[in-house]
Amino acid sequence: MIFRDHVDAFIASEKSVEGHARPERNQKNDGWNLLWLISTGGLVTAHRVMITTLDGMPHEFVIMVQYWWPPLSREIPIARLMVRPPDEPHPNRPPLPPGIQEYQVSGSRYYRWTYNRMHFKPNAEGLPYAQPLPARLIDFANAIRFMCGDCGINLAGAQVPDYPQSGRLF
């Protein structure tokens, strides 16, 4: 079974996160990483939801669903939602997969597994294809709910965090 097949099975499975996301100070940008381990079949896995915030920038954050891939001994992002300034571009290179219409997306965007599946390589950096993020999903809590829902992650037992303010969590 290849990486894509493992991720497809993971996306199709029943998954959940529970409780609070575990906070860690982000050493790169002085913001926070909020981590939730994902459970499947009632067992906690090494797969996770990772939310990265930027200290002092309440309108910029990244949410990723990361799949633990043993052959590379690391987490690999399989979906990513980025809330960014409107002038920050991302190129979608041809040929565009079905569902992607724009060659460049500016500002906030979402990298969905189904759009990236056929072009994704686990040892490459990043997901190649993004779509614009609807304005209603730029809200921190809405973005978390959307991302988890789109990846089939149940949040019923989870406490969705507020955006961490400068110097504090929740």
67-106 tens-digit pLDDT: 999 999 999 999 999 998 888 899 999 999 998 999 999 9
User: pLDDT above 90 covers what percent of the chain?
Assistant: 66
Length of the chain: 170
Instruction: Give me the chain's average pLDDT, please.
Output: 89
Tokens at 110, concatenated = 């979402």
Query: Model-level pTM?
Result: 0.92
Residues 6+ apart with CB under 8 A from 99: 112, 114, 115, 131
pLDDT tens-digit readout, 12-33: 999 999 888 999 988 877 788 9
Q: Is the peptide bond before 77 cis (omega within 30 degrees of 0)?
A: no
Q: Does the pLDDT at position 154 exceed 80? A: yes
